[in-house]
Amino acid sequence: MQSEQFERIHAFWTRRPQLTQGELGEFYQRVIAALTPCRPREAASLGDSLADLRHQFFIEKVLHSDSDAAPHHVGALFLYFKRFIIDQLRKQRDDEDADAQEGCELRAPDAYAEPLRDYQLTPQQVRVAADGFITTLPQDLILLLRHCGCGGMPVKELAEQIASAHYHGGKLGLVHRQKGDSLSAGRQIVEPAHRSTLLGNWVLTLLKLRVGDALTARDMQAAQIVLDILCVAALSLHLDPASTHPSTDERPPA
């Protein structure tokens, strides 16, 4: 887009509250047209089409924005749009974390206390152990645990953020609760294929179970409780989102 054409967008932007209906329509069309070549790769992780995201961007960040800052060239507009996409992605992941945490919230203490008593553990002791275990993990594995292990997000969604995400997910020992089966994750984590993973080894050690033991339904229930408490601990962490905003020197994709 030539600079003189973008000057029209800039002029509309700076006097948004005073635009006539006709000017508003022209402003919208010009912004949408200017954004058409911009295709941030992060948008692929959102469910909406780029056309819908451009419309949403115009409504939320252009028309109803409280900021007086107006872009002076199309590259700055691309950067605004890319930041909007990344913010939307972060909100989506925060919502998934909240949903997962709601599903992993500790039940009444007695509901966990009795099954753990057979292993000489209390829910409070498991929480302390969970906090300690999380501190031993690098941030990439914590992200995988939070978003994929507890939040149910597919590992591929973090492939761009975490190098070799599937390999690290296997090393960690990610398991997922299956719908309608409250003990599914606990049963998976103590299966032979998972016992040597970081999560599997930690759960077995905490419950004082040996790798070669034949495990009972009671053991699987206890393993599920441990995983539930671990998820609450992981989702309670406040991590700085990685790469939430691109550098202002970044050249937006054309």
Mean pLDDT by 10 residues, the chain (254 residues): 77 88 88 89 78 88 80 88 87 60 50 87 93 91 82 74 82 70 69 81 89 78 89 73 34 34
Within 13 Å and on the Cβ side, how many CA atoms surround 34? 30
Q: What is the pLDDT of residue 137?
A: 92
Q: What is the pLDDT of residue 246?
A: 32
| Number of neighbouring beta carbons within 10 Å of residue 113 | 14
User: pTM surpassing 0.85?
Assistant: no
Query: Tokens 């970081």 label which residue?
Result: 198
Q: What is the pLDDT of residue 203?
A: 92
Please name the residue ranges forming H helices in the chain.
Answer: 3-14, 21-35, 50-57, 74-104, 109-117, 123-135, 139-143, 165-172, 184-189, 198-206, 217-235
